[in-house]
């Protein structure tokens, strides 16, 4: 048997999704509307424990619509974790607003709640509060919502939860996606579940859900002649992709179990390595398992050995305040996320990873640590 390439987080789709997809195809609901969309939304809303879900073409679209719901406009500021994927900050810029970046806490690598509270306090004193705060559930672990919401509520600033990586994770037994004004999910090909591309806005607020639904379908007024009172977007998910999503959500517990088993296997097999910290307040979905090398040199050796063994691995996210595109933005703090970027490696974590694959990863990492 020859070994094939091991990917970081490839799609894990089964015969169930295939059947649902073909059934949707045969139903002729080959459109951004249909019964699979409705069912998928209901399933996800139930899982996240919220009243409303709006299926969209991407997580980025969901972020864009959540920021509109929060009232973000040209010239506003939005607090954003520096340690995230660029989509979080890009959505702020789409609206002509400016992200103000904040460092992570070493407790979870998520945004530091003390920095959020401090920034809100200072800006409140200056009469220039941000229009919104975005928290990101990094690598499938929730941010500290107890403390974040306390700070946001004190100043009346809405919180948006970017749970693109975190479906199925919990914070104090409450599901990821259910915190703040609205939650954002992604079903991109590399995420915990996939529709081949897609996202969702989840919320308890019927006004937010209604607005997102309206804006995602070109803001058509409910009249036959296409009347528009505002500028909309074409952000709706296809019914075909929602059919895939229905099968994926059903398999979510099993897929999280597989990712958790991989995390544990790596931890037990690589005792000399520092792993991504797990805060005591919740249960991650273990979307990606990330380790910290002792320094940049060792990180590069790990990445090099994995690549030589035909295994895909990646450095941790490069913080936004270090990105050329955001070089003019304000940053508060920075050493924590910069250090995670310098030393972090994301290991293959897909839910279809076999025991043989995991063992190959461990062998390659060990060879790098011994080199």
Ligand X SMILES: *Cc1c(COP(=O)(O)O)cnc(C)c1O
Residues forming a β-bridge with 275: 291
**Choices 123-131, 141-149, 160-168, 267-275; region in contact with ligand X by CB under 6 A:** 160-168
Say whether 88 sits in a helix, a strand or coil.
helix
Q: Whole-number minimum distance, CB 85 to ligand X, in Å?
A: 4
In this structure, is the dihedral angle defined by the CA atoms of residues 354, 358, 363 and 368, taken in order, positive or negative? positive
* Burial classification of residue 102, based on how many CB atoms lie within 10 Å of its CB (0-12 exposed, 13-18 middle, 19 or more buried): buried
Least Å from the CB of residue 95 to ligand X: 16
Residue 284 interacts with ligand X (CB under 6 A): yes or no = no
Applying the rule CB under 6 A, the residues between 23 and 52 that interact with ligand X are none
Considering beta carbons, is residue 63 or 293 the nearer one to ligand X?
A: 63
Interacting residues with ligand X between 175 and 194 (CB under 6 A): 186, 188
Task: Indicate whether 283 belongs to the interface with ligand X (CB under 6 A).
Answer: no
Of 76 and 137, nearer to ligand X (C-beta) is 137
Q: 335 phi and psi, to 5 degrees? A: -65, -30
- C-alpha distances in Å from residue 247, one per residue of 12, 37, 136, 183: 11, 12, 26, 21
Helices (H), the chain: 15-27, 35-48, 59-69, 86-94, 113-125, 145-155, 206-216, 239-250, 252-269, 296-308, 335-343, 355-370
Stretch that binds ligand X, among 53-61, 113-121, 331-339, 350-358 (CB under 6 A): 53-61
Span of 14-22, 82-90, 268-276, 354-362 interacting with ligand X by CB under 6 A: 82-90
**82 lines the binding site for ligand X (CB under 6 A):** no
Q: At residue 311, what are phi and psi to the nearest 5 degrees?
A: -125, 125
Among 162, 214, 245, 313, binds ligand X (CB under 6 A): 162
Contact 262/152 with Cβ under 8 angstroms? no
**By C-beta, is 129 or 242 nearer to ligand X?**
242
- Residue 141 contacts ligand X per CB under 6 A: no
The residue (of 36 and 165) whose beta carbon lies closer to ligand X is: 165
Cβ-based nearer residue to ligand X, 17 or 162: 162
Is position 212 an interface residue for ligand X (rule: CB under 6 A)? no
CB of 66 to ligand X, least distance (A): 11
How far apart CA 347 and CA 7 sit, in angstroms, is 9
Does residue number 195 form part of the binding site for ligand X (CB under 6 A)? Answer: no
Closer residue to ligand X, CB minimum distance, 87 or 167: 87
The footprint of ligand X on this chain (CB under 6 A) covers a number of residues equal to 14
For 172, residues 6+ apart whose C-beta sits below 8 A from its C-beta are 145, 146, 281, 282
Our separate counts of H helices and E strands in the chain read 12, 15
Binding site for ligand X (CB under 6 A): 58-60, 84-85, 87-88, 136, 162, 164-165, 186, 188, 199
């Amino acid at each position: 048997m020859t070994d094939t390439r091991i990917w970081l987080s490839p799609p894990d789709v089964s015969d169930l999704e295939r059947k649902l997809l073909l059934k949707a195809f045969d139903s002729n609901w080959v459109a951004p509307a249909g019964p699979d969309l409705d069912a998928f939304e209901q399933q996800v809303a139930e899982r996240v424990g919220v009243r409303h879900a709006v299926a969209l073409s991407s997580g980025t679209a969901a972020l864009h619509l959540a920021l509109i719901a929060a009232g973000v406009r040209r010239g506003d500021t939005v607090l954003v974790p520096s340690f995230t994927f660029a989509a979080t900050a890009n959505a702020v810029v789409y609206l002509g607003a400016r992200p103000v970046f904040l460092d992570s806490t070493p407790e979870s690598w998520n945004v530091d709640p003390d920095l959020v509270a401090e920034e809100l306090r200072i800006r409140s004193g200056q009469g220039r509060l941000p229009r919104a705060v975005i928290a990101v559930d990094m690598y499938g672990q929730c941010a500290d919502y107890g403390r974040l919401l306390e700070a946001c509520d004190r100043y009346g600033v809405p919180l948006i939860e970017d749970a693109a990586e975190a479906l199925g994770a919990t914070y104090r037994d409450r599901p990821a996606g259910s915190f703040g004004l609205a939650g954002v999910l992604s079903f991109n090909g590399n995420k915990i579940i996939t529709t081949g591309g897609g996202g969702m806005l989840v919320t308890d607020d019927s006004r937010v859900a209604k607005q997102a639904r309206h804006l995602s379908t070109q803001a058509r007024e409910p009249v036959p002649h296409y009347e528009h009172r505002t500028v909309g977007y074409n952000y709706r998910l296809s019914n075909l992709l929602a059919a895939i999503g229905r099968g994926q959500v059903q398999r979510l517990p099993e897929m999280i179990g597989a990712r958790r088993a991989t995390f544990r296997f790596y931890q037990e097999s690589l005792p000399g390595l520092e792993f991504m910290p797990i805060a005591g307040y919740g249960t991650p979905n273990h979307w990606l398992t990330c380790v910290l090398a002792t320094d940049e040199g060792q990180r590069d050796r790990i990445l090099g050995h994995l690549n030589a063994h035909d295994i895909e691995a990646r450095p941790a996210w490069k913080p936004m305040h270090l990105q050329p595109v955001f070089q003019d933005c304000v940053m508060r703090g920075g050493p924590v996320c910069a250090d995670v970027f310098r030393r972090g490696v994301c290991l293959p974590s897909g839910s279809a990873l076999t025991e043989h694959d995991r063992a190959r990863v461990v062998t390659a990492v060990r060879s790098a640590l011994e080199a």
